[in-house]
Amino acid sequence: MTRFTVAIDGPAAAGKGTISKAVAAHFGFAHLDTGLLYRAVGAKVLAGGDPVQAAKALTPKDLEGDLRTPEVAQAASRVAVLPDVRAALVTFQRDFAVRDGGAVLDGRDIGTVICPDAQAKLFVTASAEVRAERRYLELADKGLDVTREDVLADVIERDKRDSDRAEAPLKPADDAITIDTSEMSIDQAVAKAVAVIEACR
Ligand code: CDP
Ligand code: CDP
């Protein structure tokens, strides 16, 4: 079995997860949404827990349930600035990345910190307005009581906190290929990502 790691980073609601799932299915690789780890820690903190203890004690059960709410996203981005929280999650992510058969990891620091040796690195982005509209439609579809203004403010605030933090900030790796999906359908974005990854094989 071969090892092949695809790192997909980018700002909130850029389409990282959608593209990651599709390319993982295309190549037969496993997929890890690393944002879920931070969301699970954030949810535990909202429930009164200590962030570092929560990160150290994370179990698969903590990743179940609905972590895709704006409150949990904000809590995730607040705990994500803590170096001890990030450190507690490194080994799990790196082990996942080098599993036999190939892996796709999406997040903020995969190409820069978690998997600097990844064979393929993508930075998926889109304008804040486009990303907020996509996330708004998703949350409204789930029946959440949100406004476009609130979702845009949430996206901008998280992007700023994620980009400005000292530890593992959101930024493209020097050797990442950027895909701006502002004007792309999902199919177009996936086709572009598959082509970029093919070129790295
Ligand atoms: O994982 P990330 O937060 O980066 O984004 P996502 O959850 O994969 O995508 C956010 C929303 O944008 C989803 O509802 C996608 O269906 C939608 N979308 C997309 O991902 N790519 C496009 N080119 C158009 C829409
Ligand atoms: O889906 P969306 O892009 O909105 O967020 P996510 O990928 O689920 O990540 C939630 C939060 O976790 C982000 O705003 C980051 O603060 C943090 N995160 C991180 O710091 N590093 C990662 N590798 C993944 C997520």
Taking only the tens place, the pLDDT of each residue in 160-189 is: 999 999 999 999 999 999 999 999 999 999
pLDDT value at residue 102: 98
Pairing of strands 103-107, 5-9: parallel
Class of domain 5-200: alpha beta
10 is in an annotated binding site: yes
Alpha carbons 17 and 178: distance in angstroms, whole number: 15
pLDDT value at residue 83: 98
pLDDT value at residue 2: 85
pLDDT value at residue 63: 96
80 is in an annotated binding site: no
- State the pTM of this model: 0.98
CA atoms within 13 A on the CB side of 149: 0
Q: Using an 8 Å Cβ cutoff, are 51 and 82 in contact?
A: yes
Question: Atom 16, ligand 2: which residue's CA is nearest?
Answer: 77
Ligand nearest to the CA of residue 151, numbered in listed order: 2
pLDDT value at residue 197: 98
Atom of ligand 2 nearest to the CA of 38: 12
Q: How far is CA 27 from CA 51, 106, 109, 179, 195, in A?
A: 35, 15, 22, 19, 12
Instruction: Tell the residue number behind the tokens 């486009």, with chain if given.
Output: 130
Domain ranges of the chain: 5-200
* DSSP conformation class of 63: G
Kindly state the helix (H) or strand (E) to which residue 44 belongs, with its residue range: helix 35-46
15 is in an annotated binding site: yes
Pairing of strands 120-125, 5-9: parallel
Pairing of strands 120-125, 177-180: parallel
Question: Atom 2, ligand 2: which residue's CA is nearest?
Answer: 12
* DSSP conformation class of 5: E
Question: Atom 3, ligand 2: which residue's CA is nearest?
Answer: 12
Could you report the predicted ipTM of this complex, rounded to two decimals? 0.97
Ligand nearest to the CA of residue 122, numbered in listed order: 1
pLDDT value at residue 1: 57
Low-confidence ranges of the chain (pLDDT < 50): none
pLDDT value at residue 112: 98
Atom of ligand 2 nearest to the CA of 10: 3
